[in-house]
Structure 1
Amino acid sequence: MSDVRVSRRDVLKQTGAAGTGAILATGSAAAAGRAPQRIVGTSSRSGVRAAKDRAESVRRTLDFDDLGQAVAGRFSDKAVEQLRQRSDVRYVEEDITMYAIAQTQPWGIDRTDSEVAHANGETGAGADVAIIDTGIDSDHPDLQANIGSGRAFTRCKGSPKDCRYDWDDDNEHGTHCAGIADADDNTQGVVGVSTEATLHAVKVLDKRGSGSLSDVAAGIEYVADQGWDVGSLSLGASSGGQTLKDACTYAYTNGVLLVAAAGNDGPCTDCVGYPAAYDECVAVSSTASDDSLSGFSSTGPEVEIAAPGTDIYSTVPGGYDTFSGTSMATPHVAGVGGQLMANGYTNTEARSQLTSTAEDIGLASNESGAGLLDTAAALGLGSSDN
């Protein structure tokens, strides 16, 4: 992945396993003497009770309505064997670890004609865009005016100044994505694809940029329960699970537009990660400023649209920095999705509009899907020459 250029700070803040932003999945190895972290999916309340009774400890319970419930916790092999004998236990799976797909924004704003939208009063005002990530810097001058509420499924760890809220960003990744999607047009710093949507920090990844599948699923469930419009998912793993699939189905059927990073495993063929590979998610690949496919971008038939992702300048706690990755491409699409839904589109209508107005830049369908994101065209404003 020599084409992925990241800042020194980002390299230091990512785990060694995550490298320069590849989607990775690692098993949650049990500590000595402790049962492994697993998720038990059930189809009945009695199944939930049985799972809780047999768990060494319970991390959380998820409820996906008609799809069923899931209990995340530590389960011994014996407990799993007993639970699998129940007809109301749908599955038992490992609670794997998921990672931020880590890495000027001005070129991305210009290339997607987002400034044309701004000039025509399209700011995303009224939309709710959730950044499901490492959190958002709560006092960044380019974001503060747009931040609504937040929720932490893993807490910010740092000084009281750096972690004013549990959902504050102790990594940088989530704040960078937030700025791309919706930095305020305030004459300083950077400007986002949207500029007046309400940003919500859903912190599911820790200061190392990693988090459990169950936390990510809980974050997606939470976004759906709040009735928010867009869930931006610049994270993933090379494998998924039924819990994550159920969370995406639950959110999508409840009206959330889910936009997810295809992954940074390129150059490769048919390698889109999860949750992007699920039908419920708009899978986003990454392009460079010359409209070529970014060297790191994952490709595959699941890719639905491409957006700028190489050398993107955006917000980080305490300032600004340049990152590259499908993580950076994803919030470009999420920001436009917010603008469409602010204008009354449903999640399915917004998804169709994004792809039907994308610009053909000559890449194969498995590389860019319908083409490159075109903000102005999606909003019915036409496009300027690029």
Structure 2
Amino acid sequence: MFPDETITRRSVLKTTGGSLLAVGAGGFASADPDDVVRANVGFESEAGRTAALDAADDVVREFAFDAMTVRAPKRAVSALADRPGVRYVERDGTARALSTTWAYDRIDADVTNINGYTGDGADVAIIDTGLPCNNSCLPNVGTGKAFVSCSSGCCASWDDDNGHGTNVAAAIGASESCDCTTGIAPDATLHAVKVLDDYGSGSYSDVAAGIEYTADQGWDVANISLGGSSGSQTLKDACTYAQNNGVLLVGAAGGSGPCTDCVGYPAAYSEVVAVSSTNSNDELSSYSSTGPEIEIAAPGSDITTVDPDGSCITISGTSMATAHASGVAALLMGEGYTNSGARSRMKNTAENIGLSDNESGAGLVDAAAAMGLDSSDD
């Protein structure tokens, strides 16, 4: 469980999952003797089965082929290997969906998800071009509202008639069964706040109205993968309103790079977490805007995601980097963090990848570290 002072907006929804040590594929070397680990035990006699049962704090399952999966202190599990009738003792390894992207793995979202942190209970507003009404990769679409008109053939006023909203939403919350990718927070509820039209364009006042609406719904995270080169007092006021009402605003730095001091709006406002983009080599993406407003970096280059029709597409941009940061924000706020607590936690646990402050802020967002998990052996 996280520090009590961060749990003020909602009660903690889960207390299991994070208490188990994440250990490496090679065994239990990183675990302390009293750490609870998950192990598979094979036996060849009733004596071996009894030994496994006696050692277990909890039996996860028994198999018909003389084996079982148990949770037990490392000390007890290690001792089992020398007991008569025990054939083997091994770490219960992790299998991952092959649809995950390099970015999902790079920020250790696989570690968080396998440990039970999936964004359940978090509400994320996708302030963008809308969301599809029926896309198998996005089964957790909640409500929606449109501040611009949807083009013909829309299933709802907030339907995505451009694709951009769906693209970023999938990085945040695509189902684990999706063929294209898995979202950082696959159980978060995604809400469509349509402020951009089918050309991907919208006014600052529409964006401000969408941010205000998000705050009035009491939602947790606002993903703002859009922006402009100039500011707006109305837009800033909307961001202040949302921040004061408990929303964590996460915004795209922009794609004006290579450049210096060129973060777009609303990401440049102090109320918004400004996110820059990195590639698979932990380098700043060539297009990423930079500046003193950057708070964190996230993967944004060559990201496989989903289009409204369900097809897979690979795209790049600070929009996708923002979505990865928003996914981690959803994990935190789903566990009871406030907007300010989640913001601080993301920065304090970011990984230093050697970029300057203007390029990556606190560093690369790290889902596992943010959730207090050890990914060193993953």
TM range (shorter): 0.7 to 0.9
1:178 to 138, 146, 169: 169
Secondary structure of the equivalent of 2:202? strand
1:49-102, Cα deviation, whole Å (9 max, x unpaired): xxxxxxxxxxxxxxxxxxxxxxxxxxxxxxxxxxxxxxxxxxxxxxxxxxxxxx
Aligned to 1:157: 151
What are the superposed Cα offsets for residues 258-291 of structure 1, whole Å, 9 maximum, x if unpaired?
Answer: 0000000000000001000000000000000000
Structure-2 residue corresponding to 1:287: 278
Q: Secondary structure at the match of 1:339?
A: helix
Deviations 1:107-163 (A, max 9, x none): 1100000010010000000000000000011211100x210000000122022xxx1
The alignment yields a C-alpha RMSD, in angstroms, of 1.1
1:243 aligns with 2:234: yes
Structure with higher Rg: it is: 2
From 229, 236, 256, the equivalent of 1:265 is 256
Q: Is the 8 A contact 2:100 2:180 kept in 1?
A: no
Which of 317, 322, 336 is residue 325 of structure 1 equivalent to? 317
* Residue in structure 2 matched with residue 254 of structure 1 by the alignment: 245
2:106 aligned to 85, 100, 111, which one?
111
Task: Provide, for residues 323-361 of structure 1, a one-character-per-residue CA deviation record: whole Å limited to 9, x for no partner.
Answer: 100000001011111110111100000000000000000
Read off the aligned partner of 1:140 and give its amino acid letter: N
Residues 1:205 and 2:196 aligned together? yes
Question: Map of 1:76-91 to 2, 5 A cutoff?
Answer: none
Q: How many pairs align?
A: 279
- Residue 362 of structure 2 corresponds to residue 370 of structure 1: yes
Q: Does 1:131 align with 2:135?
A: no
Determine whether 1:361 maps to 2:353.
Answer: yes
Task: Tell me the equivalent position of 1:316.
Answer: 307
Compute the TM-score of the two structures, normalised by the length of structure 1. 0.71
| Deviation at residue 105 of structure 1 after TM alignment | 6.2
The alpha-carbon deviation at position 190 of structure 1 amounts to 1.5
Contact 1:113-1:375 within 8 A present in 2 as well: yes
**What CA deviation, in whole Å up to 9, does each residue of 1:26-71 have, x standing for no partner?**
xxxxxxxxxxxxxxxxxxxxxxxxxxxxxxxxxxxxxxxxxxxxxx
Q: TM-score, normalised by structure 2?
A: 0.73
Contact 2:285 2:300 in 1 (8 A): yes
How far is 1:187 from its partner? 5.4
Is 1:220 matched up with 2:211? yes
Is 1:140 aligned to residue 135 of structure 2?
yes
Q: Given that residues 180 and 304 in structure 2 are in contact (C-alpha distance below 8 angstroms), is that contact kept between their aligned partners in structure 1?
A: no
Secondary structure at the aligned position of 1:210 is classed as coil
The aligned residue for residue 8 of structure 2 is none
**Structure 1 runs (4+) greater than 6 angstroms displaced:** none
Give the aligned residue type for 1:304: E
AA paired with 1:247? A
SS in 2 for 1:218: helix
Query: Is the CA contact (8 Å cut-off) linking 2:136 and 2:178 kept in structure 1?
Result: no
SS of residue paired to 1:219: helix
